[in-house]
Amino acid sequence: TAALPVVINTWAFRKATETAWRVLQLGGSELDAVEKGCGQCEIDQCDGSVGYGGSPDESGETTLDAMIMDGNTMEVGAVADLRRVKNAIGVARKVIEHTKHTLLVGESASLFAVRMGFPYEDLTTPKSLSMYSKWLNQSCQPNYWKNVVPDSSKSCGPYKRLEKVICEKWTISQRNVHNHD
């Protein structure tokens, strides 16, 4: 049955839902509710797939992606590959409010965030470091490389491209329900 207002979010991230709902009840806007709701998951590191200290990349670093969209104005603010700043969706909101851009990425997005007053801090935690070292100790498996030497299904890189490219149909190398974005 339909009823408004409504908050809906992926996975059983209950605190995020409750936070968004509370912002609405306290008179906040829908955008405020999305920002605070998703921001709650960044604080809680929801299932390790949101926020700092999760999903280290091949260099052991945690990087963040986020977006926020206003359905009235179709304005979008987004950051990608954000480094060393924890509140990614807060920065995404600042992209809407303080730029005419839509998407800022990488280290430059971090510089923008610092200018907007967000703290610059290490997103690595003992947990993400142990995930990383465990991965290194299992020959960097699984990984996202293909058609490279040495054989990426057997050893770590650095890799070089394989002269002869083998056409592979969609190979799904990662099947871990917590490995998602």
Question: Footprint of another protein on residues 101-160 (CB under 8 A)?
Answer: 102-103, 105-106, 123, 131, 135, 140, 142-145
Q: Restricting to residues 36-65, which ones interact with another protein according to CB under 8 A?
A: 37-39, 41-42, 46, 48-52, 54-59, 61-65
Contact pick of 84, 85, 89, 118 for another protein (by CB under 8 A): 89
Cβ neighbors of 77 (< 8 A, separation 6 or more) are 67, 68, 92, 93, 94, 95, 96, 97, 99, 102
> Contact at 8 Å (CB) between 17 and 92?
no
Contact pick of 84, 92, 94, 113 for another protein (by CB under 8 A): 92
Determine the size of the site formed for another protein (CB under 8 A).
Answer: 85
Closer by beta carbon to another protein, 78 or else 113: 78
Q: Restricting to residues 9-28, which ones interact with another protein according to CB under 8 A?
A: 9-14, 16-18, 20-21, 24
Token pair, residue 20, equals 């968004």
Binding segment for another protein (CB under 8 A), chosen from 88-96, 112-120, 160-168, is: 88-96
Which of helix, strand or coil describes residue 22? helix
Question: Least Å distance between CB 41 and another protein?
Answer: 4
Q: Does 6 bind another protein (CB under 8 A)?
A: yes
Q: Does 34 bind another protein (CB under 8 A)?
A: yes
Own/partner contacts of 158-166, CB < 8 Å, gap of 24 or more, are none
Instruction: For residue 80, give the nearest of 102, 58, 56 by alpha carbon.
Output: 102
Question: Least Å distance between CB 42 and another protein?
Answer: 6
Q: Does 35 bind another protein (CB under 8 A)?
A: yes
Binding segment for another protein (CB under 8 A), chosen from 78-86, 113-121, 160-168, is: 78-86
Residue 136, CA atoms < 13 Å, CB-side half-sphere: 12
83 beta partners: 63
* Radius of gyration of the CA atoms of the chain, in A: 19
Q: Does 5 bind another protein (CB under 8 A)?
A: yes
> Contact at 8 Å (CB) between 85 and 64?
yes
